[in-house]
Structure 1
Amino acid sequence: MGVKPRVLYFDVLSIVASLAVIFLHCNGIVHWGPATPHWSQALVVEVAFYWAVPIFFMCSGAKTLGYRDRKDTRTFLLSRMKGIFFPFVAWCAIQYVIRASGLFNPLPEGWEPSPAHFLRVFMNGQIDGTYWFFFAMFGVTLSIPVLSRLKDHIDTLWYLVGAYILLSGTITPLCKVLGLPWNESISISVSGGYVMYTVLGYLLASDSRVFASRSRRCLLYGLGIIGLMVRYGFTWMASQRTGVLNNALFEYNYLTAILPSAAVFVWFKQVDWEGLFARLHVRASSVRRVAGLTFGVYLMHYLVLNEVFIGHLSMDMTSYAVRLGLPWVIFTVCLACSYALNRIPFARALVGGWR
């Protein structure tokens, strides 16, 4: 069984998506509502970078749905546990100890540290709000051995994606916005949740038929931009009308997120990154090394943001400069920490890696 070669645009997507996630979390004031200073600008960031999390699932599907060509299922699942889920659990424990000790900030209200309390807040996703992603990824990973059996049945996979997008991604939000009745149980359950993005990533990476022509790609890019405009326009107008945030379109599985995510994925796939980096005198191997550190960046960034910059340093997150400048600082700090941990043999497992 062979080893799958690294794909450069996956590495670039990992870097850019990791930075985009930090931008989203530094612009959390978007959830405070339109009365917040600079809310309209924060909404631009929220809409423009919303594709980041779907991209992680899409890259995961593109890289793992064909795992049977390289390894057996037991090896695949063990490698995912080692590379993703062990670091996730370890950092939950680290963050729990830090918060329970009051090292940076006072003990959270209602916390009475104990093994039982840790288990409760861990399973409820209360240690780090961004770690909901790993629970979703765990469910997707358990689905991969089944989905991998369909990897050569491209038309069937497109049916799963297309039917889900039609029912859950298009009709459901349309009825919600228009106030029309719709039973959300009418869906393609087998591709529900983030399984759809996982399959879509595999299809966009491996099926060259769909977006082979320039005209089709341009159509997708145009639809992606329209998706962004619709989400921003509806959210802005509906929120201004009521004075509170209208989050009707704050769903990753709606068309307003699917179209931009697919457009970003296809665009990054089409770029000649090897040639671009050669002209910029940047080694592709350096890009791959940075991409290998971004999993650690994801694990640490919210801890650094909340405990250090917001909690300890009391940064003003309504500031335009802070919200647009701080993500670069946090990304750099976490990248350096991830690099340092990778250099320590017994700590290397704490930062795992996207596989």
Structure 2
Amino acid sequence: MTAPATTRASRPRLVYLDVLNICAIPLVIFLHVRVAYWNADGSPGWWFENVVSGLGVIAVPIFFMNSGVTLVGFIERSTVGTFYLKRFKKVVVPYLIWSQLYLLFGVLIGARTDVGVGTVLSTVVDGSSAGATLWYLEAAIGVYIVLPVVSLAVLALTRDPERRDRRLLLLLGISVLAAIVLPAVRRILPATLPSMEIPLGGYLVFVLAGGELLHRGSPLAPIFTDYLTLGTLCTAAAVFVAVRQARPERLPERAQRMISSLAGMTFGIYLVHLMVIETADLWLAPRTPSSDVPMTIGVWAVSLAIVAVLRLIPPVRRWVLP
């Protein structure tokens, strides 16, 4: 599978994607500093965290939608081999490195004592067992493995302009059915078609949504609060379109450069922020809901500073914090 020979033109930077990344990362941090959310006692602190979490849950879907904008059509300008090589450097290598860094970090803070050769080797393929936030990279790797096939499918579907929208809507509809509707039904009726699997499920639904169509306490609570739910998809879509329609590319060039610089450090902030939180917990008094916002701001600022300094080192900038 190769792309047709074409002359590569530099693609203009999409400022709204930078803005979305910058806005999403504090929401991720908030989800990891909240303390009352897990105990649904109806207290004011729980209500505050519950409401903000309803917005915060869109952060990771926004990341996937941004990937969809930039990557779904890659087959028209690059080869599959080049695509996989770039994803390997930008996602797989950092995943392998950070899984071991989080394992070492756990030993240093006394959170892990079970480290041996077996643990080190198992962490190579189970990085999220060492650093919980690495689950996002695991999910992204799965999406990127299948993305060339999706890119070819989208290319084929869009060759007929008159039927383009309907065909893409069908593709996204199947993905919504696989990733959101069927799991929601199975929460209520677990025996619903237990052996049926639809390959277009998972976080691919957000990639498809971003890549194409958006260019235009109860046991059932997870149906409304998990990542792969219709509510999350709709909320993420609304925020995505709102930021895009705000047209941040009209900002002064200096502001755009600052936005671009901050957005370039978002991935690094995501990788390092959990270490900052766990280190702070060793020294700070037990946190309460009233500390959520200042803690989120502080963790973001410290993580940003760490990433900015470490990225001055060329090998770190290339392999560890790309």
Q: Same fold (TM over 0.5)?
A: yes
2:233 equivalent to 1:271: no
The Cα shift of 1:158 comes to 2.0
Assess if the C-alpha contact under 8 Å between 1:73 and 1:145 holds in 2.
yes
Cα distance in 1 for residues equivalent to 2:104 and 2:193: 40
Residues 170-212 of structure 1: CA deviation (Å, up to 9, x unaligned):
4653674xx4566165877131111111111101344x3xxxx
| Map of 1:331 onto structure 2 | 300
2:104 equivalent to 1:97: yes
Structure 1 counterpart of 2:275, which letter? L
How has the CA–CA distance of structure 1 residues 192 and 323 changed in structure 2, closer, same or farther, with 3 Å as cutoff? same
Assess if the C-alpha contact under 8 Å between 2:180 and 2:228 holds in 1.
yes
Residues 140-184 of structure 1: CA deviation (Å, up to 9, x unaligned):
0011110110223144332122133346534653674xx456616
- Correspondence for 2:228 among 253, 256, 260: 253
Aligned residues: 306
The Cα shift of 1:75 comes to 1.1
| Map of 2:206 onto structure 1 | 197
Residues 67-104 of structure 1: CA deviation (Å, up to 9, x unaligned):
1233211111111111222122212211212222x2xx
- Correspondence for 1:318 among 269, 285, 288: 288
- Correspondence for 1:135 among 131, 134, 138: 138
The Cα shift of 1:22 comes to 0.6
Q: SS at 2:199's partner residue?
A: helix
Structure 2 counterpart of 1:169, which letter? I
Structure 1 counterpart of 2:248, which letter? W
Cα distance in 2 for residues equivalent to 1:333 and 1:13: 20
Cα distance in 2 for residues equivalent to 1:287 and 1:185: 46
Structure 2 counterpart of 1:265, which letter? F
2:81 equivalent to 1:74: yes
Q: SS at 1:81's partner residue?
A: helix
2:263 equivalent to 1:288: no
Give the unaligned 5+ runs of structure 2: 1-7, 158-163
2:168 equivalent to 1:157: yes
Cα distance in 1 for residues equivalent to 2:27 and 2:260: 18
| Map of 1:211 onto structure 2 | none
Give the unaligned 5+ runs of structure 1: 209-234, 240-244
Residues 17-60 of structure 1: CA deviation (Å, up to 9, x unaligned):
11111111111531233267711111111112110011111111
Cα distance in 1 for residues equivalent to 2:12 and 2:192: 44
Structure 1 counterpart of 2:180, which letter? G
Assess if the C-alpha contact under 8 Å between 1:304 and 1:330 holds in 2.
yes
Assess if the C-alpha contact under 8 Å between 1:27 and 1:323 holds in 2.
yes
Residues 86-135 of structure 1: CA deviation (Å, up to 9, x unaligned):
122212211212222x2xx2242xx3222311232453421111111111
1:26-65 correspondence runs (5 A): 26-34=33-41, 38-65=45-72
2:310 equivalent to 1:341: yes
Give % identity: 27
2:306 equivalent to 1:297: no
Cα distance in 1 for residues equivalent to 2:75 and 2:179: 30
| Map of 2:120 onto structure 1 | 118
Cα distance in 1 for residues equivalent to 2:212 and 2:193: 25
The Cα shift of 1:298 comes to 0.4
Q: Which moved more, 1:55-64 or 1:197-206?
A: 197-206
Assess if the C-alpha contact under 8 Å between 1:26 and 1:323 holds in 2.
yes
Assess if the C-alpha contact under 8 Å between 1:173 and 1:254 holds in 2.
yes
2:104 equivalent to 1:106: no
Cα distance in 2 for residues equivalent to 1:300 and 1:339: 12
